[in-house]
A and B are shown apart, each in its own frame.
Chain A
Amino acid sequence: MSSWIDLSANELLSQLEAGQVTSQEVVTAFLDRIHQVDPKVHAFLNLFAEEALQKASVVDERRKNGEKVGLLGGLPVAVKDVLCMKIGATTAGSKMLERFHSPYNATVIEKLEQADGIILGKTNMDEFAMGSSTENSAYNGTANPWDLERVPGGSSGGAAACVASQMAPLSLGTDTGGSIRQPAAFCGITGVKPTYGRVSRFGMIAFASSLDQIGPMTNSVEDAALLLEVIAGHDPSDATSLDRPVPNYREALKEPLKSFKLGLPKEIADFNPDPEIQKAVEAALEVYRETGATIEEISLPNLKYAVPTYYVIAPSEASSNLARYDSVHYGYRTDRKAMMAGLEEGDSPLVQMYSQSRAEGFGPEVKRRIMLGTFALSKGYYDAYYLKALKVRRLIRQDFDRAFEQVDAIIGPCTPKPAFKIGEKVSDPISMYLEDLFTVGANLSGNAAMSIPCGFTSENLPIGLQLQVPALEEERLFRIGHLYQQVTDWHQRRPSLG
């Protein structure tokens, strides 16, 4: 046994249950790894080492006494800093919330606690989940563990990097347009965006409410199945959460699919994915063919409109969701004296306080999106922009519905390109937006999707394979993904961080 941190979550759980290791030992191993590696990667914004060890000892004690232990049985979990927690600050990667201490826990946090998960700390992210590189964090970026000069993707960059670099076996991210799947692809891990409504959003700091969803980021499909089982389910505090029983996802993995159809959207080629990515996806298709699947070409005719549709709807909702950061009830407030001194004749001190606090508390990308969303909703433009986008959204959904009548799952690359260099795209917002090309569709339509590792570029950068299934078909998604991971070992590769 090299080290506990080399095991998958399910393997660790077996060891914990068999009494081969204690939760305290596991937590200690990961905390040590964090101290060793995180100075290079900067995946964490905040660590709860003391609380984690304390909680681990309680779980160990309960297990020793033969008492009931939750599904996570003392496994460490890292949590994206967009999820409200009573301990520590919850910042959403923004200066605006630097000192915000939530008086309540998000529903998923409660679920982790009830399942005896040990929360190690909060992970870095693009400010308010807006970005695809984690460079928009107000607290420095995160590095890609496979190449420290590259971005880990985003917005759940910290969540992806901490799993890839073995600082946590499980982590929670959020996905509004690809924010779980794209960093999972960039960092070579498994990332799942569940069906909209499958996981409660209560306590997740909203970016775009009709698109946001919390999901697992793990080393394997099997581990994702475990974590989703813990966090999924109906929540009376979230009116958009689905009141459907949560299947035993891990049990589902034991019954492999006999024969199934995978659909490859022909429009993907129009976007010229990186040749190495195309090759890796083709190889993955071959693997599936060998396991008995059939591959069909399908069409998602409105795929090219997915990104512009997303970049109307998401900023519109965000402009409203972020209106609450007005420096009155919580959050950053500008210095009053300086503000008053700068007032000109006729200025309202109140309006000035709002505008200045928000200007100082938000970063540039957040401001751009608030502006775009405010514009799209404003008088005279609503119909041409916002309403139009809602209609195209319906067409995109119909594309997916038609495709899923034809095939069991949609397959393709997760991203058009592998991880890019830090700083490469910061000055070009649109090229950053195109990162979401293959992922936003699932958010717009609400279906479930997942990225799993399917190879490496010549520069040793991970490549992600995206699988998409209809709403509430996560069992099917996991079976198809697990099948692949049983015959390949891409998901077991680790970056050499020393």
Chain B
Amino acid sequence: MELSRDDIAKVALLSRLQLNDEELDAMQSDLQNMVNFVEQLGEVDTDGVEPMAHAVELHNIFREDKIAPSLPREEALANAPDEDGEFYRVPAVLGD
């Protein structure tokens, strides 16, 4: 599969990665190589093969519905790049 620059830009947006023109070029060639490399999987006959998402065959793992202490707010917010003591702060969600 040939990846166009547009494809790369779309994946970069989905990934929330800002790439300048130069980085886009480099990414296009790197990603193309990687995609070519993994495309050899196309050779494998997987008809009727169940996909394997987990390495362990566990089922029905639950926790009981019990309340555990939450973090004090200062601790919860301690790592936030921007907060006002009560909330996390980000550029406006709306207003686009």
A261 within 8 A of B: no
* Assembly CA distance A279 to B8 (angstroms): 45
Residue B41 at the A interface, CB < 8 A? Answer: yes
Out of B37, B51, B79, name the residue touching A394 (CB < 8 Å): B51
By Cβ-Cβ distance, the 4 closest A-B pairs, closest first, are A446-B55, A390-B51, A330-B79, A333-B81
Does A375 sit within 8 A of B, measured CB to CB?
yes
A362 — which chain B residues lie within 8 A by C-beta? Answer: 17
Residue contact B46 to A392, C-beta cutoff 8 Å? yes
A387 CB within 8 Å of chain B: yes
Does the CB pair B58–A368 fall under 8 Å? no
Q: How far is the CA of A262 from the CA of B77 in the complex (A)?
A: 54
A378 touching B11, Cβ below 8 Å: yes
Shortest distance from the beta carbon of B45 to any chain A beta carbon, whole Å: 9
| CB within 8 Å of B: which A283-320 residues | 302, 304-305, 308-309, 311-312, 319
Range of interface residues on B (Cβ < 8 Å): 35 or more
Q: A333-B81, A374-B15 are in contact. Are A311 and B56 (CB under 8 A)?
A: no
A302→B41 CA distance, assembly (Å): 10
Of the candidates B15, B39, B56, B61, which one forms a contact with A319 in the assembled complex, judged by CB atoms under 8 Å apart?
Answer: B15
Residues of B1-53 contacting chain A, CB below 8 A? 1, 3, 7-8, 11-19, 27, 30-31, 33-35, 37-42, 44, 46, 49-53
Asked whether any CB of chain A lies closer than 8 Å to the CB of B75, the reply is yes
CA distance A193 to B79 in the complex (A): 32
A497 at the interface (CB under 8 A from B): no
Interface pick from A33-41, A160-168, A234-242, A460-468: A234-242
- Whether A433 is near chain B, meaning CB under 8 Å from some CB there, is yes
The answer to whether A375 touches B11 (Cβ under 8 A) is yes
Q: Is the CB of A374 within 8 A of B37?
A: no
Q: How far is the CB of B56 from chain A (nearest CB, A)?
A: 5
- Sample of 15 A–B contacts (CB below 8 Å): A210-B54, A236-B63, A242-B56, A312-B38, A329-B79, A340-B91, A368-B31, A370-B15, A372-B38, A375-B7, A385-B38, A394-B49, A395-B44, A430-B33, A445-B55
Residues of B within 8 A of A211 (CB): 55
* Least distance between B91 CB and chain A CB atoms (Å): 4
* Residue of B with least CB distance to A353: B91
- Stretch in contact with the other chain, from A16-24, A67-75, A343-351: A343-351
Task: Tell me, in angstroms, the Cα distance from A202 to B48 when the chains sit together.
Answer: 34
Query: Given A101-B78, A390-B51, A308–B56 Cβ distance below 8 Å?
Result: no
> How many angstroms from the CA of A259 to the CA of B58 in the assembled complex?
33
Partner-A contacts on B (CB < 8 A): 1, 3, 7-8, 11-19, 27, 30-31, 33-35, 37-42, 44, 46, 49-56, 58, 61, 63, 71, 75-76, 78-82, 88, 90-93, 96
Chain B: CB-nearest residue to A348: B96
Count contacts between A and B, CB distance < 8 Å.
173
Please state if B56 and A197 are interface contacts (CB–CB under 8 Å).
Answer: yes
Q: What are the residues of chain B within 8 A of A387 when measuring CB–CB?
A: 51
Shortest distance in angstroms between B61's beta carbon and chain A's nearest beta carbon?
A: 4
Of all chain B residues, the one with the shortest Cβ separation from A339 is B91
Besides A355-B18, A388-B41, A389-B41, 17 more A-B contacts (Cβ < 8 Å) are: A99-B79, A196-B56, A305-B44, A311-B37, A327-B81, A340-B91, A346-B96, A350-B93, A350-B96, A358-B17, A371-B15, A384-B42, A385-B38, A391-B51, A392-B46, A395-B44, A444-B55
* CB of A260 within 8 Å of the partner chain: no
Decide yes or no: A240 and B58 within 8 Å by CB, A305-B44, A331-B79, A397-B52 being known contacts.
yes
Instruction: Kindly state the separation between the CA atoms of A481 and B30 in the bound complex, as whole angstroms.
Output: 39
What separation, in Å, do the CA atoms of A446 and B53 have in the docked complex?
11
Complex interface: chain A residues within 8 A of B51 (CB):
387, 390-391, 393-394
Q: Which residues on the A side are within 8 Å of B56 (C-beta)? A: 196-197, 240, 242, 446, 471
**Once the chains bind, are B79 and A100 in contact (CB under 8 Å)?**
yes
CA distance A129 to B18 in the complex (A): 22
A474 within 8 A of B: no
Given A329-B80, A355-B16, A368-B34, do A391 and B52 touch, yes or no (CB 8 Å)?
yes
User: How far in angstroms is the closest Cβ of chain A from B50?
Assistant: 6
CB B39 to nearest CB in A, in angstroms, measures 8
Asked if A371 and B17 sit within 8 Å, CB to CB, the answer is: yes
